[in-house]
C-alpha cells in the first residue's frame, strides 16, 4: 500500500543498491547512492585502535582507482567509502580491507558499531581477568624466590611460573597479538607491534632463563606488564565510549523495524532498512516513529522532546509531520513515509555527529604526520638502545633486552593519536546537547579563528515566520483571481514570506499557472495564458508591470503582478529570534565585528538593525553581492562567520571562513553550512564559538602533554631507569591523562561567570534533548529569495 503525494526518489535517495552476485548483494545490503553513479558503503572495523590503523585503511582503500573518498572513524570503529559504481565493485573494497589486515563486517543500521564495541570490551575484560589471576599467582611464587629459596626450589617455582605464564600471555595477549599480526600481514606497523614484541621478548627471556637453570626469570614482569597494558586498553575503550555517547544515544532511538499496512489493511513487520518512501507504517502507543513521514490516519499525543526540547506532549493528527525517534504515547497512527531511515531526522543528525570526528583539520593532520613516523622510529630507537647497552655492559644481553623492552612500550603514540579526535567527539557532544550539529570536524578550528560575523536577516536574525498583509494602496487591485494566482506561486517556494502569503490568502490556488520556477534572490514566476506573472522582490516584479507611481508603496519590499498590470504591494513584519538581543550584545563585548547582509529592502533591514543596535548593514543584496562582500572582508584579513538560511545564502555560506545555518534553512543551505543549529534561540552562535575556543585550547594542551611525556619518558627509558612494568603503567597513564584532560570540556570553569547565551566558558551542560526542525522542510525545497 502506498500513499498519495509520496516524493519521487532519485539518485541519492538512499535506496539499497542491488548488483549481480550473491556476494555483492550481501555486501551492498546497507550501501546507498549519494549521487550519480556514486555509492557510499560503510564497514565496521573492530580492530581499529590507533592513528596508524586509520592511515593504513585510508591509504589501502584510497589506492583503488574507483574510490572517490574514504574516511575512517576511530571512535565508532567505522569506515565510510564513497566509490564510482560504473568503475569498480564493492568486492574490491572488501578485499582491500582484508589485505590491510583488518577483520570487518558491513555496517548495519539495526546493529550499529555499539554491538561490536561491547563485544570488544567484553573480550578485553576477560583477558584482563586472566592476566590478573596469573600475575597474582606468579607474584606469590616470585616472593619465595626473592626471599632466598635454594636453587632446586627456585627451579621448581620458575617451572610452575612458566606453566602459568605462557598460556596466560598467549590468551590475554590476543588483543595485541592479533592486531600486530594483522598489521604485519598487511605490511604495515601499528602501536600493537612494539607492544607485542616487548611482551614476547620478556616472556621468551624468562623461558630461556628457566630452561638454562638461571636464578633470574621474568615471568612475573611479563604477565604483570601485560596486565597493566590491558588495564590501559580497557580504560581507553571505556573512555572513548563515554566520549561518543551522544551518537550511541541516537542509535538507541532508532527502532529495528516497523509494521507496514498493506492494500488489504493487513500488517506486516519489515526491517528498518527495508522501509521506503510511499509506504504506510503503523505506529502503536509506546513505540517510537521509525522514519520521517506525515500522519494520514488517527490521532495521538506524542513526546517530541527529542525534536522540540519541550516535555509537554503534543497532539498530532492527519496532515501533521512526525520525525523519526519521537515517542507515540496514546493512540495508533498511520504514517505515510516521506524519507527512508538513512535520510530521516535521526539519520541526518547521526551522520553530522560522525562527521565531527572524521574532519581533517590542521591539528589532525599534524597528529597524523607525527604518528606516521612513530612506529619505525620506536623500533629503531629500541634497537639502538639494545646495541648501546650491549656495548656499555660489555655483552650483558639481559640488561640490554630489558632496556629495549622498556623503550618499545613507553614510546607508544596512543596519547598523540588521541589528542585531537577525543576533543572533537566531546565538543560535538556538547554542541549536540544544545541543539547544534557540526557537519565537519575541521569547523572547530575555523570557528575558533573568527573575528567577523555576517548575519542574514530573514529566517536567521528573525524567526522566519513573518506576518503579511496587502498594502492599503494596493487593496483594490487584489481580486479573487489575482489572489489565486499569487497563492499558486507562493506554494512553490519555501521562503518564509511566500509561506506567510500562502497562509494569508484564504482562497484556493489556480490551475491556470504554468512554467512555475523560482529565481534565487528574486522570487517566483510563472505564466498565465502565456503572460508572465511574478511574486517576489518589488524591483524584480516591477520589470513586468505598468505601475502608476501613486500605487507604489516605497515601504514595501514584496509585491505581486501580472504582466502589463499594476503591482500588488505587501506589507510585512517579522519577529526577532529569541535571545537575539542578548546574543548580539554579548558578541560585541568579545570584540567580534557584526553586520547584517540581507536581500530585503532598506526599511525592513534598517528596522531590524536598529532594534538589535547593529550599525553596519547592507540591504537589497543578491547572492553575488554577498559573496563580493565576504571576499572584500577576506582581503582585509578578516575571518568571517556567515549565518544564513536561504538558497541565496548558500554561495555565501560556502565562501565564508566558517558558516552556520538554522535547521529550517533550505536543503542546499544546510549542506553548505559547517554547523546547523536546531533551536529558535540565536544563542547557538556564541555557544558554538565558546566551545570551539575551548576545544582549541584543549587540543593544544593535549599536544603539549603528549610531547612532554615522550620528552621526559624516552630519555629515562633509554638510560635504563624505567622498568618494563613502569613503562606499561606510564604508557597507559599518558593516554588516560589526555582523554581525561579532553573531558574537561564537559565541566564549567568555576571562575567564569555564566552568560545567558553561553559565550563565556561557563556554558550550560544540562542533559537536554535536541530541538530540531531539520526534517520539517520538504525534500524538494527550492530555496529562499530574500
Q: Where are the beta strands (DSSP E) in 578-644?
A: 593-597, 616-618, 640-643
Taking alpha carbons only, the member of 440, 366, 367, 372 closest to residue 53 is: 372
Q: What is the DSSP letter of 350?
A: H
**Residue reference for cell 498565465:** 528
Q: Where are the beta strands (DSSP E) in 529-613?
A: 531-537, 558-562, 568-573, 593-597
Taking alpha carbons only, the member of 489, 502, 563 closest to residue 533 is: 563
Taking alpha carbons only, the member of 649, 654, 645 closest to residue 676 is: 645
**Could you give the residue ranges of the DSSP H alpha helices within 662-778?**
667-672, 684-718, 724-742
- List of long-range contacts for 622-630, beta carbons under 8 Å, 24+ apart: 622/521, 622/648, 623/520, 623/521, 623/648, 623/649, 623/650, 623/651, 623/652, 624/651, 625/597, 626/454, 626/597, 626/651, 626/652, 627/651, 627/652, 627/655, 629/454, 629/597, 630/454, 630/655, 630/656
Q: What is the DSSP letter of 193?
A: H
Report how far residue 29's alpha carbon sits from residue 33's, in angstroms, rounded to the nearest whole number: 12
- List of long-range contacts for 146-151, beta carbons under 8 Å, 24+ apart: 151/215
Taking alpha carbons only, the member of 121, 135, 163, 141 closest to residue 227 is: 135
Q: Are 669 and 646 in contact (CB under 8 A)?
A: yes
Q: Are 531 and 564 in contact (CB under 8 A)?
A: yes
Residues 6+ apart with CB under 8 A from 720: 389, 399, 402, 403, 406
Buried b (16+ CB within 10 A) or exposed e, 42-66: bbbbbbbbbbbbbbbbbebbeebee
Taking alpha carbons only, the member of 179, 226, 220, 237 closest to residue 200 is: 226
Q: Are 353 and 250 in contact (CB under 8 A)?
A: yes
Taking alpha carbons only, the member of 613, 603, 606 closest to residue 582 is: 613
Neighbours of 315 (CB within 10 A): 12
The three three-digit cell numbers of residue 287, written as one number? 513505540
- E strand or H helix that includes residue 424: helix 421-433
Q: DSSP 3-state assignment of 347?
A: helix
Q: Is 764 a catalytic residue?
A: no
Q: Are 161 and 217 in contact (CB under 8 A)?
A: yes
Q: DSSP 3-state assignment of 761?
A: coil
Query: Of the residues 273, 368, 440, 456, which is catalytic?
Result: 456
Q: What is the DSSP letter of 449?
A: T
Q: Are 333 and 316 in contact (CB under 8 A)?
A: yes
Report how far residue 249's alpha carbon sits from residue 430's, in angstroms, rounded to the nearest whole number: 13
In order, the DSSP letters of 471-530 are: -GGGGGG--HHHHHHHHHHHHT---HHHHHHHHH--S---TTEEEEEEETTTEEEEEETT
Instruction: Report the C-alpha dihedral over residues 324, 327, 329, 332, rounded to 10 degrees.
Output: 30
Report how far residue 238's alpha carbon sits from residue 547's, in angstroms, rounded to the nearest whole number: 71
Report how far residue 651's alpha carbon sits from residue 586's, in angstroms, rounded to the nearest whole number: 28
Catalytic residues: 456
Amino acid at each position: 500500500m502506498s500513499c498519495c503525494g509520496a516524493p519521487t526518489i532519485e539518485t541519492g535517495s538512499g535506496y539499497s543498491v542491488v548488483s549481480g552476485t550473491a556476494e555483492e548483494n550481501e555486501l551492498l545490503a546497507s550501501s546507498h547512492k549519494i549521487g550519480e553513479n556514486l555509492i557510499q558503503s560503510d564497514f565496521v572495523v573492530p580492530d581499529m585502535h590507533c592513528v596508524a590503523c586509520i592511515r593504513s585503511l585510508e591509504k589501502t582503500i584510497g589506492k583503488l582507482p574507483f574510490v572517490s573518498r574514504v574516511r575512517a572513524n576511530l571512535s565508532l570503529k567505522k569506515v565510510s567509502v564513497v566509490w564510482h559504481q560504473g568503475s569498480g565493485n564493492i568486492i574490491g573494497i572488501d578485499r582491500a580491507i582484508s589485505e590491510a589486515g583488518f577483520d570487518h563486517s558491513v555496517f548495519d543500521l539495526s546493529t550499529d558499531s555499539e554491538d561490536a564495541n561491547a563485544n570488544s570490551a567484553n573480550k578485553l575484560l576477560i583477558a584482563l581477568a586472566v592476566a590478573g589471576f596469573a600475575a597474582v599467582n606468579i607474584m606469590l611464587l616470585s616472593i619465595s624466590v626473592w626471599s632466598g629459596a635454594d636453587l632446586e626450589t627456585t627451579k621448581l617455582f620458575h617451572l610452575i611460573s612458566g606453566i602459568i605464564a605462557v598460556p596466560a600471555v598467549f590468551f590475554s595477549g590476543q588483543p595485541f597479538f592479533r592486531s600486530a599480526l594483522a598489521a604485519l600481514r598487511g605490511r604495515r606497523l601499528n602501536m600493537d607491534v612494539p607492544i607485542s614484541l616487548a611482551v614476547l621478548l620478556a616472556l621468551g627471556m624468562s623461558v630461556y632463563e628457566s630452561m638454562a637453570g638461571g636464578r633470574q626469570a621474568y615471568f612475573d614482569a611479563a604477565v604483570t606488564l601485560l596486565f597493566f597494558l590491558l588495564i590501559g586498553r580497557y580504560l581507553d575503550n571505556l573512555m572513548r565510549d563515554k566520549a561518543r555517547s551522544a551518537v550511541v544515544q541516537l542509535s538507541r532511538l532508532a527502532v529495528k523495524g516497523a509494521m507496514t499496512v498493506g492494500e488489504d489493511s493487513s500488517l506486516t513487520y519489515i526491517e528498518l532498512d527495508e522501509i521506503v518512501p510511499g509506504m504506510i507504517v503503523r505506529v502503536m502507543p509506546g513505540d517510537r516513529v521509525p522514519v520521517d513521514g506525515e500522519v494520514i490516519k488517527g490521532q495521538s499525543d506524542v513526546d517530541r522532546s527529542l525534536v522540540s526540547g519541550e516535555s509537554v506532549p503534543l497532539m498530532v493528527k492527519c496532515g501533521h509531520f512526525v520525525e523519526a525517534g519521537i515517542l507515540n504515547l496514546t493512540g495508533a497512527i498511520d504514517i505515510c513515509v516521506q524519507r527512508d531511515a538513512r535520510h530521516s531526522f535521526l539519520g541526518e543528525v547521526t551522520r553530522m555527529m560522525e562527521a565531527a570526528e572524521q574532519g581533517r583539520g590542521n591539528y589532525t593532520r599534524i597528529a597524523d604526520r607525527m604518528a606516521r613516523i612513530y612506529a619505525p622510529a620506536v623500533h629503531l630507537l629500541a634497537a639502538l638502545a639494545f646495541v648501546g647497552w650491549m656495548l656499555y655492559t660489555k655483552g650483558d644481553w639481559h640488561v640490554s633486552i630489558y632496556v629495549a623492552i622498556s623503550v618499545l612500550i613507553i614510546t607508544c603514540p596512543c596519547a598523540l593519536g588521541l589528542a585531537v579526535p577525543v576533543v572533537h567527539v566531546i565538543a560535538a557532544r556538547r554542541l549536540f546537547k544544545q541543539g547544534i550539529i557540526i557537519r565537519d570536524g575541521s569547523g572547530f578550528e575555523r570557528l575558533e579563528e573568527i573575528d567577523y560575523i555576517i548575519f542574514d536577516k530573514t529566517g536567521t536574525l528573525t524567526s522566519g515566520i513573518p506576518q503579511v498583509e496587502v498594502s492599503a494602496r494596493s487593496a483594490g487591485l487584489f481580486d479573487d483571481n489575482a489572489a489565486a494566482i499569487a497563492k499558486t506561486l507562493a506554494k512553490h517556494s519555501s521562503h518564509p514570506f511566500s509561506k506567510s502569503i500562502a497562509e494569508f490568502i484564504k482562497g484556493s490556488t489556480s490551475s491556470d499557472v504554468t512554467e512555475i520556477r523560482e529565481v534565487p534572490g528574486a522570487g517566483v514566476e510563472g505564466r498565465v495564458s502565456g503572460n508572465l506573472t511574478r511574486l517576489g522582490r518589488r524591483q524584480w516584479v516591477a520589470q513586468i508591470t505598468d505601475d502608476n507611481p501613486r500605487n507604489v508603496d516605497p515601504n514595501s519590499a514584496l509585491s505581486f503582478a501580472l504582466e502589463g498590470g499594476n503591482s500588488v504591494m505587501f506589507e510585512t513584519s517579522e519577529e526577532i529570534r529569541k535571545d537575539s538581543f542578548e546574543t548580539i550584545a554579548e558578541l560585541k563585548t568579545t570584540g567580534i565585528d557584526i553586520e547584517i547582509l540581507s536581500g530585503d529592502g532598506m526599511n525592513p533591514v534598517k528596522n531590524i538593525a536598529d532594534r538589535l543596535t547593529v550599525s553596519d548593514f547592507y540591504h537589497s543584496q543578491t547572492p553575488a553581492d554577498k559573496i563580493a562582500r565576504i571576499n572584500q572582508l577576506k582581503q582585509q584579513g578578516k575571518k568571517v562567520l556567515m549565518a544564513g538560511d536561504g538558497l541565496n545564502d548558500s554561495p555565501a555560506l560556502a565562501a565564508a571562513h566558517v558558516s552556520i545555518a538554522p535547521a529550517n534553512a533550505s536543503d542546499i543551505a544546510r549542506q553548505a553550512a559547517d554547523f546547523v543549529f536546531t533551536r529558535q534561540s540565536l544563542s547557538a552562535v556564541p555557544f558554538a564559538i565558546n566551545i570551539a575556543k575551548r576545544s582549541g585550547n584543549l587540543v593544544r594542551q593535549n599536544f603539549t602533554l603528549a610531547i612532554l611525556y615522550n620528552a621526559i619518558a624516552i630519555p629515562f627509558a633509554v638510560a635504563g631507569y624505567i622498568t618494563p612494568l613502569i613503562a606499561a603503567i606510564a604508557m597507559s597513564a599518558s593516554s588516560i591523562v589526555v582523554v581525561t584532560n579532553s573531558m574537561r570540556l564537559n565541566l564549567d570553569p568555576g571562575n567564569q561567570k555564566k552568560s545567558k547565551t553561553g559565550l563565556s566558558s561557563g556554558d550550560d551542560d544540562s542533559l537536554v534533548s535536541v530541538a530540531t526542525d531539520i526534517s520539517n522542510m520538504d525534500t524538494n525545497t527550492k530555496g529562499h529569495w530574500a
